Structure 1
Amino acid sequence: MILEHALLPVKPGREEEFVAAFGEAKQIISSMPGFRTLTLSRCQERPSAFLLLVEWETLEDHTVGFRGSAEYDEWRRLLHDFYEPFPVVEHFDQVLAV
């Protein structure tokens, strides 16, 4: 299992519009091969910052399968205009769980 981490800096004033668009976009990502779970959280101290965590079966399910798909074009159309600056996406291997 791979955990994708993305801190999403949404343009101030567009937060609610982003949440609505993400509600539509989550249908896209959740239909992709290798997708396991997703959480989207909003920062209390910085309400324009959102944390996206996605579990994938493999790194390639995200980097090749999802990002290389036609569905990703729709994901990008729905969400990428909200970010300033564009988010950094990183992938993590679990080391310890309780």
Structure 2
Amino acid sequence: MILEVAILNVIPGQSAAFEASFQQAQQIISSMKGYVSHELQRCMEVDNQYILLVRWETLEDHTEGFRGSAEYQQWKKLLHHYYDPFPVVHHYELV
């Protein structure tokens, strides 16, 4: 199993709209092949910052399957305009 980790910095004043959009977007990601689970958490110390954790069966399920899909285009349309700067995504595996 692979853990995708993204720190999301949302444009100030856009947090409520981002959270509402994420409610729609999570339905997209949870329907994808290889998806296991996800969670979105709001930072308590840094305003407008979130962490997104997504568990995938394989790295390719995320990097090729999801990112190469039509559903990803919907995901981007719903969420990507909220970020500044655009998040860096890292993948982790259990040791």
**Quick check: 1:55 aligned with 2:55?**
yes
Give runs of aligned pairs for residues 76-87 of structure 1, distance below 5 A.
76-87=76-87
Give runs of aligned pairs for residues 11-90 of structure 1, distance below 5 A.
11-90=11-90
Q: Distance in 2 between matches of 1:43 and 1:94?
A: 24
TM-score, normalised via structure 1 length: 0.96
Q: What one-letter code is carried by the residue in structure 1 that aligns with 2:59?
A: L
> What percentage of aligned pairs have identical amino acids?
58
Task: Give how far 1:47 is off.
Answer: 2.3
SS of equivalent residue, structure 2 residue 86: coil
Where structure 2 has 5 or more consecutive residues not aligned to the other structure, the ranges are none
What's the Cα RMSD here? 0.4
Q: Distance in 2 between matches of 1:16 and 1:36?
A: 26
User: Size of the alignment, in residue pairs?
Assistant: 95
TM-score, normalised via structure 2 length: 0.99
